[in-house]
């Protein structure tokens, strides 16, 4: 499978717990994005990596959120001290350099904070 | 900052008929890309069609075509010969074409399309 994969697909956690999500982009893609999608809304940009460097973070990414992309391969998104407002679908997307600017999306991780 | 507006939350179309989904956007940039993405229920988002702002010709992909009006900042999607598999949420999205920019997508709220058999 050469698509973008995300793990887990679903996560239910209690308020105050920490959670970590993983994204594996398409192997030759050097750019990786995280988006958050709440019910009835379009995805909103959270953060962006070019290789291992995190180049931009949205104001939506509070101090409780941290993302990494060690070695420019997979990426993790951690949420500390989860709140009910963090409940959403977290989407990962990747694309490479060149003429094809299509972002390929993963299936998402649906987080429910109870 | 760029914004994308999809003002129709839901639309319905009879199978085999044609439907048009509307999208407007706002930007001060002259060069950019516009996209329509499809998100089927519980499935991942896939690209339907892409339009480069510098191209005057409207993009087409099989049954899907766009009406790109740059001056009006309008970007609608036409689906011809609608099929049951077209039922999904459709998002209009914007991306800057500046090579040094973060290639993040700015999405509209989406429109839920249902197809009646």
Percentage, residues of chain A above pLDDT 90: 75
pLDDT exceeds cutoff 60 at B16? yes
| Backbone torsions φ then ψ of A84, nearest 5 degrees | -60, -30
Q: Percent of chain B beyond pLDDT 90?
A: 83
Give dist(CA B17, CA B91) in Å, integer: 20
Cβ–Cβ below 8 Å for A41 and B104: no
Highest mean pLDDT pick, A47-51, A60-64, B80-84: B80-84
Q: Which residues of A touch B101 (CB under 8 A)?
A: none
**In terms of Cα–Cα distance, which of A15, A10, A23, A6 is closest to A79?**
A15
Q: Which residues on chain A are in Cβ contact (under 8 Å) with B107? A: 42-44
Flag the least confident range among A82-96, B66-80, B86-100: B86-100
Give which of A1, A98, A103, A109 to mutate to test B binding, by max B Cβ within 10 Å: A103
Q: How many CA atoms lie within 13 A of B19 on its CB side?
A: 21
Q: Quick check: A40 pLDDT over 90?
A: no
Q: Can you spell out the DSSP letters for chain B?
A: --EEE----EEEEETTS-EEE--EEE-S-SSEEEEEEEE-TTS--EEEEEEETT--SPPEETTEEEEEETTTTEEEEEE-S--GGG-EEEEEEEEE--TTS----EE---EEEEEE-
**pLDDT confidence bin for A1, thresholds 50/70/90:** low
CA distance A105 to chain B (A): 6
Residue B53 pairs in a beta bridge with none
Question: Which chain B residue has its CA at the smallest distance from A4's CA?
Answer: B44
Q: Which of A5, A36, A42 to mutate to test the interface with B (most CBs of B within 10 A)?
A: A42
Residues recorded for chain A: 114
CB contact under 8 A, A106 and B44: yes
| Helix H or strand E segment including A75 | strand A75-79
For residue B63, pLDDT beyond 90: yes
| Minimal C-alpha gap between B15 and chain A (Å) | 25
- The confidence band for B1, taking pLDDT boundaries of 50, 70 and 90, is confident
Q: In the predicted model, what is the mean pLDDT of residues A17-33?
A: 94
The nearest CA of chain B is from the CA of A17 a distance in Å of 26
Give Cα B79 distance to the centre of its chain. 11
**Confidence at residue B99, expressed as pLDDT on a 0 to 100 scale:** 65
Question: In the beta sheet, which residues pair with residue B32?
Answer: B96
Residue B65, pLDDT > 80, answer yes
Q: B-side interface with A, Cβ within 8 Å? A: 4, 6, 33, 37, 43-47, 50, 91, 93, 95, 102-110
CB of B107 within 8 A of CB of A43? Answer: yes
Whether residue B60 has a cis bond before it, omega within 30° of 0: no
Task: Indicate whether B41 pLDDT > 90.
Answer: no
pLDDT bracket for residue A99 (50, 70, 90): very low
DSSP label at residue A99: S
pLDDT at A104: 92
């Amino acid at each position: 499978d050469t698509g973008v994969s995300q793990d887990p697909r679903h996560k239910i956690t209690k308020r105050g717990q920490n959670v970590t999500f993983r994204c594996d982009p398409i192997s030759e893609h050097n750019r990786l994005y995280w988006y958050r999608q709440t019910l009835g809304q379009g995805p909103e940009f959270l953060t962006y990596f070019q290789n291992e460097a995190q180049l931009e973070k949205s104001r939506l990414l509070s101090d409780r959120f941290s993302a990494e992309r060690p070695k420019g391969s997979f990426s993790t998104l951690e949420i500390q001290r989860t709140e009910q407002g963090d409940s959403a679908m977290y989407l990962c997307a990747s694309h490479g350099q060149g003429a094809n600017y299509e972002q390929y999306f993963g299936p998402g991780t649906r987080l429910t904070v109870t | 900052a760029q914004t994308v507006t999809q003002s129709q939350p839901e639309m319905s179309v009879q199978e085999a008929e044609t439907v048009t989904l509307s999208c407007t956007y706002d930007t001060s940039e002259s060069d950019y890309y516009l996209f329509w993405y499809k998100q089927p229920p519980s499935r991942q988002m896939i690209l339907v069609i892409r339009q480069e702002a510098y191209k005057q010709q409207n993009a087409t992909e099989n049954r899907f075509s766009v009406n790109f009006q740059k001056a009006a900042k309008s970007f609608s999607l036409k689906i011809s010969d609608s099929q049951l598999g077209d039922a999904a949420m459709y998002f209009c999205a914007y991306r800057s074409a500046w090579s040094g920019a973060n290639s993040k997508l700015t999405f509209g709220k989406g429109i839920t399309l249902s197809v009646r058999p």
